[in-house]
Amino acid sequence: MFQNWPEHTAHVKKSFGELGKNHPKMLQAYGALEQAAAAEALDAKTRELIALAVAITTRCESCISVHAAAAAKAGATESEIAGALATAIALNAGAAYTYALRALEAVDAQR
């Protein structure tokens, strides 16, 4: 197991609370972003699937932990989670491919 995910999630949430006590405006601003996203057309499960996919592309372990728990709570199936993660993997592969083109161009331009 890479991580004790339930423990990590609890730690992240506790840390957020502590940060909010010391910097309430920062936490309020973050909460406003969450509220704005929730007010749009996507349901909670879809938002959490997207968040989980973004979490792996940004390599945010705490985001993975929190959004994995939220996706499960929102009723995301293993197949839906796998589909979201596969999409993120494919996107990362595509991004690497397009950056490889830039690298080749940079080498050619400097020969």
Residue 39 CA: distances (Å) to CA of 44, 45, 46? 10, 14, 13
**CA-CA distances (angstroms) from residue 17 to 72, 78, 85?**
22, 30, 29
The pLDDT tens digits of the residues spanning 37-96 come to 888 889 999 999 999 999 999 999 999 999 999 999 999 999 999 999 999 999 999 999
pLDDT value of position 96: 92
Predicted pLDDT of residue 38: 80
Q: How far is CA 29 from CA 23, 36, 62, 101, 109, in A?
A: 10, 11, 19, 39, 45
**Residue 2: pLDDT band with limits 50, 70, 90:** confident
Least confident of 24-38, 50-64, 94-108: 24-38
Once rounded to an integer, what is the mean pLDDT over residues 31-35?
Answer: 86
End-to-end CA distance of the chain: 47
Sign of CA dihedral 23, 24, 27, 28: negative
